[in-house]
Structure formats: C-alpha cells, structure tokens
Structure 1
Amino acid sequence: MAVSSLSQAASSGVIHFRGEIVEGGCQWAPASADVAVTCSQQGKPVTQTLALNSLNGITLYSDSTVQTRVQYLDAQHKLAVLQVTYQ
C-alpha cells in the first residue's frame, strides 16, 4: 500500500453524518510502513501505531467505535483506499 495514496485520500472526499457527533474523528498520520492513529477517548487523545499491511478489518476499540476496510486498486497491492467507519 503506498503511503502517498493514504495521504491523498485524507485530503479529499465527502463525509455524510447521521445522528449526533459526540467526539471528533481520528487523525491518521501515515509513515513508510505504519500509520499513527490518534483518537479522542473521554476527551483525551489516545495514539495507536498500526502496520499498513494490517489495516484491513481492524476494530480500534473493543466497543466497535472505529472499523477499517482496505480496498486495493491494483493486483500488486501498492494502491489502496482505506475506508474508516465511525459508529
């Protein structure tokens, strides 16, 4: 998965919200082989570092608050779209 594709995905797109936003979304900071994810929990920032190749199907919190899905755009798995679902 290319880091540049994650960076580009973070700067564009459309987000639709239904319901009430209690806490803001997470900040995703990609690096060469991993990504630092910082989310607010009870008003305090919590950071987790995850390997880029392990992002598909992750649930960041035990209560299923944040889930991820990776869709690869090429057969070599160099380009991908990371979908993040907040519940």
Structure 2
Amino acid sequence: MRERLWVVVGRVCGTGYTEPTANFYELGGDSLLAGELMSALRAEFGTELPMNLLFEAPDMGTFVEDAVALVDSSAQRGGS
C-alpha cells in the first residue's frame, strides 16, 4: 500500500514530491494541489483523508506514513 500511495503522490504532484524528505510547501505545493492529491487518494483507496494530514506533515515521508496508517485503520473498520 505504501508504494501505491507514493505512486499517486508522484502522478499528481510530480516526482520531486516523492522524496521522503521533500517539503510540500518548499516545492510549491498549495491548497489546490493538496485538494487534487486528496481526491486522487480517495479514488485510489476509497478513504477520505483529512487535508490537515498533509498540511501538518513536516515532510512527504511523514505524510505517507500517516496516510498509510489511516487507510489501514479505515480498511480494518470496513471502509469510510
């Protein structure tokens, strides 16, 4: 699942965002791109992820790990 999530990040945001230490804002990320990413992740995993998960993450690696945990948790509960 982690790899699938990174693929979606790269497809939506660009390959620069797929480095675990990359900072979403330093690479030019904004609320529009964040919305596109969250929509793509919802379509891929069937789980609604809160936007603040991305906004509060210090780097993309943290965001991906936090997102994996939420997607896993949602899957264990039977989806969103």
Bigger proportion of residues as helix: 2
Report which structure shows greater RCO (CA 8 Å, sep ≥6).
2
TM-score bracket for this pair, using the shorter chain length: under 0.3
User: Is the strand fraction higher in 1 or 2?
Assistant: 1
TM-score (norm 2): 0.27
| Larger Rg over CA atoms | 1
